[in-house]
Chains A and B, each alone.
Chain A
Amino acid sequence: MFYREAGQYKTTYSADQAVFPILQDRIGIFVILLLAFVVVPMTVSGFVLSSVLIPIMVFALAAIGLNLLTGYTGLLSLGTGGFMGVGAYACYKLTTFFPDVNIIVLILASGLFSAAIGALFGLPSLRIKGFYLAVATLAAQFFLSWCFVRVPWLYNYNVSSAIEVPTRTAFGVHVTGPNATPVTRYLVVLSIVVLLTWIASNLVRGRIGRMWMAVRDMDIAAELIGIKLYQTKLIAFAISSYFCGVAGAMMIFLWFGSAEADSFSITQSFLVLFMVIIGGLGSLLGSFFGAIFILGLPIMLRTLPELFGLTIRAATVEHLQFMITGALIIVFLVIEPHGLARLWQIGKQKLRVWPFPY
C-alpha cells in the first residue's frame, strides 16, 4: 500500500536508469545513510563499532569485490584472501615511503597494487574456465601467502614478521594507530565503503557491467557481438582485486591494527566466497547481507546458549559452531539457492501488492 511504483512516471531515460527509480527506495536509502553517518556514531558504543560494524563494512566491500568477479563476470576465484593481503601490505609499504600523505589516499592507492596483481593472476582466465580457473586462482592464494611470510621486505624486516600499523592522520585527525578513536575509524571505513559501492553500482549498470554479464551468461555470443573476452575478464579481475585490496588495507589499518601472513590465508578467501553465495551472486546489496549473515552467525551461536542458561565447554562450542555453520549453509542453499538478495526481492514484491495480493 505504501510501497509501490504506481503513478511514478519517468519522463527521461536518465531518470529511468537511476539507481533507485522508486521514490520510497530513495527515501529509504537516505534514512539508512543518515542513520549510519549521524545516529550510529553518536549512540553506538566503541566496542560494537570496532567489533561488529567495522568488520561488516570491511567484509562487505571484499564481498562486493568478489561479487564483481564471480557474480557478474562468472569467474570463480579462491584467491580473495591473497588479494586482500596485497592491499594491506602495499598500504603498509606506502605508509613507510610516504609518512606524511593523507592515509585515506594511501588506502585507496594500495588497491591499485592488488589490482595489478589480480590482473596478473587473471591471465590464465582466457584459456581456462570454471573450476579449472578456481583451482588456478588457488595458485595466487598460496603463492601470495608464501610471499607474505618469506619476503621480509614486505614487513620492513620486523623480527616478529608481522606488520604493526603506524599512527597516521588525515585532515589533522588520527585515523590509524592506537590513538584513533573507533568513531573516526568507523566513519572512514563507512565513507570508503559507500563511495566504492556507489562506483560498483555505476560500473555494473553501464557498458562495462553489461560486458561482464554478457561474458558470464554466454561468452561465445559475447565474443561475436564484438566484446573482447580477454580484456573484459582482465578488467573484471583488476577491479575486483582493487575492491578486495582496499578491503584488506582497511581490515589491517582500521580494524586489526596489526597483521601477519595468517590474516590473509585461504580461510579468508572461503569466508568471502560464502558471503557472496549466501548474499546472492550478482547482487551488491546481497554482499552486505552476506557479510552480516556470515559474521553474525558465530556471534549468535555464542550468545544463544547463554540466553537459555546453558553452559557448554568452549571447545565443544567451537565444534558445534562448525557443525551448525556447515549445516546451515546447506539448509540455506536448499531453501534459497539465489541468496538473501532474492529473499529481499520477494519481500519487496509482497510489500508492493500488500494488502491485496490478487
Chain B
Amino acid sequence: MRAPADLKIAAGDVLLAVENVSLSFGGVKAIRDISFDIRKGEIRAIIGPNGAGKTSMLNVINGFYTPQQGRITFKGKTRAKMRPHDAAAGGIARTFQNVALFRGMTALDNIMAGRTLCMKRGLFWQALRFGPAMKEEVEHRRYVEEIIDFLHIQHIRKTQVGRLPYGLQKRVELGRALAMEPDLLLLDEPMAGMNLEEKEDMSRFILDVNQHFGTTIALIEHDMGVVMDLSDRVVVLDYGRKIADGTPDEVKRNQDVIDAYLGVAH
C-alpha cells in the first residue's frame, strides 16, 4: 500500500536538522544536547517516556521556546533559534497535545484562520468586503472546503469548536494545520485519548496527508503500535537525551530503549 521505508529515506533530502540543542528552564534541563534530522517526505516519530522533552523539542522547532545552545537548520537556512512567525511562514504547521483550537470560533473559521498567512488583501478591502477581498475570501473558502471534505467534518462546519467532542476537535485542529499548506507538519500526540476506531481514522488521515500532499510529518505518539506502523524513522528521547535513532525495527531492538520503557535494575 505504501512505499517501503528505506526507499523513501534514500529519496529524501534533509528538510530540518537540529544540532546540539539544549534547553533549560531555570535549573531544570528539558533538552540536553540533542541532534537529529527530518528528511523530506518522511514520517518521523519522536517517542519517549513522559517528561522526556518531546513537546519541548517541538516547541523549539517552531520557535515557541528559545534554546540556550544549538542550531536549527530548516530548508537549508541555519539559525540559533526559530521565530514563531518565521516558522509558520516557512511552512511549519503544528497540532497540540491539549487541543489548542480557538474555542469561540466555528470549525470553519478555525480552519480559515489557518489560511491567514496566504491572504493578502489589506484593511481597506477587508472593511468593504467587496471586490478583491470577497474574491480572495471565496477562493480560500473553496480550499478550506476541500480540507473539510477530506477530514469528513462537513456536518460540524458551523459549530463552535468548544462544543465539539474531543475526537472531532483533534480533527479540526489537523484541518487548521493543513490549511497552512505546510511543508513540515508537527503532530503532538494526535491520537491521545482516542478510541480504537478514532485512532484508525486519524492514522488514515496522517498517511493520506503524507502520501497525497507529500507533506513531511514529525509526530509524537505514545501508542507504540501506531508509531511502528506509521513512521519511517524514530528518534527516542529519555530525560532530555537522545538514546536511539533509526528505523522502527532498529529502535525496537535497542537495549537502551527497552531499559527506558521497562525500567532497569540499578
A contact set with B: CB distance below 8 Å: 12-14, 17, 199, 202-203, 205-208, 210-211, 213-214, 216-218, 220-228, 235, 282
B121-133 interface mask toward A, CB cutoff 8 Å, 1 = contact, 0 = none? 1010011110001
CB atoms of A221 and B100 under 8 A apart: yes
Tell me whether B230 is interfacial, beta carbon within 8 Å.
no
Task: Give the residues in chain B near A228, CB-CB below 8 Å.
Answer: 85
Q: Given that A17-B137, A207-B121, A225-B180 are known contacts, is A213 also in contact with B84, CB under 8 Å in the complex?
A: no
Contact A226 B116, CB 8 Å, known A13-B141, A14-B134, A207-B126: yes
Which of B117, B126, B145 is the most central at the interface, judged by chain A CB atoms within 10 Å of its CB? B126
Complex Cα distance A17/B113, Å?
15
Judge whether B85 and A223 touch: CB under 8 Å.
yes
Using Cβ atoms and an 8 Å threshold, which residues of chain A touch B114? 225
CA–CA, A13 to B146, complex, Å? 13
| Residues of B bordering A, CB below 8 Å | 62-64, 84-85, 87-89, 93-94, 96, 100-105, 109, 112-114, 116-117, 119, 121, 123, 126-129, 133-134, 137-138, 141-142, 145, 176-177, 180
Q: Is the interface of A mostly helix, strand, loop or mixed?
A: helix
Instruction: Determine the distance from Cα of A224 to Cα of B113 in the docked complex, in whole angstroms.
Output: 11
Q: Name which of A199, A202, A216, A282 has the most chain B CB atoms within 10 A of its CB.
A: A202
Most chain A beta-carbon neighbours within 10 Å: one of B62, B101, B112, B129: B129
Say yes or no: B105 contacts A213, CB within 8 Å: yes
Q: Using known A-B contacts A213-B104, A225-B114, determine if residue A206 contacts B129 with beta carbons closer than 8 Å.
A: yes
Interface on chain B toward A: helix, strand, loop, or mixed SS?
Answer: helix
Q: Which residues of A contact B105 (CB under 8 A)?
A: 210, 213-214, 217
Instruction: Tell me if A225 and B116 are in contact (CB < 8 A).
Output: yes
B84 touches A14 (CB 8 A): no
Q: B85, B87, B133, B141: which has the most chain A beta carbons within 10 Å?
A: B85
Are A202 and B100 in touch, CB under 8 angstroms?
no
Q: List 23 A-B contacts (CB under 8 A).
A: A12-B138, A13-B138, A13-B142, A14-B138, A17-B137, A17-B141, A199-B128, A207-B137, A208-B123, A213-B104, A216-B102, A218-B100, A222-B113, A224-B62, A224-B64, A225-B93, A225-B94, A225-B176, A226-B84, A226-B85, A226-B88, A227-B116, A235-B123
Other-chain contact of B128, A202, A210, A235 (Cβ < 8 Å): A202
Closest residue of B by beta carbon distance from A208: B126
Chain A residues with Cβ below 8 Å from B104 are: 213, 216-217, 282
Q: Which of B63, B126, B180 contacts A206 (CB 8 A)?
A: B126
* A12 partner residues in chain B, CB cutoff 8 A: 138
Q: Residue among A199, A203, A216, A225 with the most chain B CB within 10 A? A: A225
Question: What A residues does B121 contact at CB under 8 A?
Answer: 207
The 3 closest A-B pairs by CB, nearest first: A226-B88, A202-B129, A217-B102
Q: Given the interface contacts A202-B128, A214-B105, A225-B88, does A207 sit within 8 Å of B100 by beta carbon? A: no
How many whole Å from A20's CB to the nearest CB in chain B? 14
Least CB distance, A230 to chain B, in whole angstroms: 10
Q: Is the CB of B133 within 8 A of A223?
A: no
Interchain CB contact under 8 A, A213 and B109 = yes
Bound CA span A205–B126, Å? 9
Is there an interface contact between A221 and B88, defined as CB atoms closer than 8 Å?
no
Report which of B101, B112, B128 forms a contact with A221, defined as CB distance below 8 A: B101
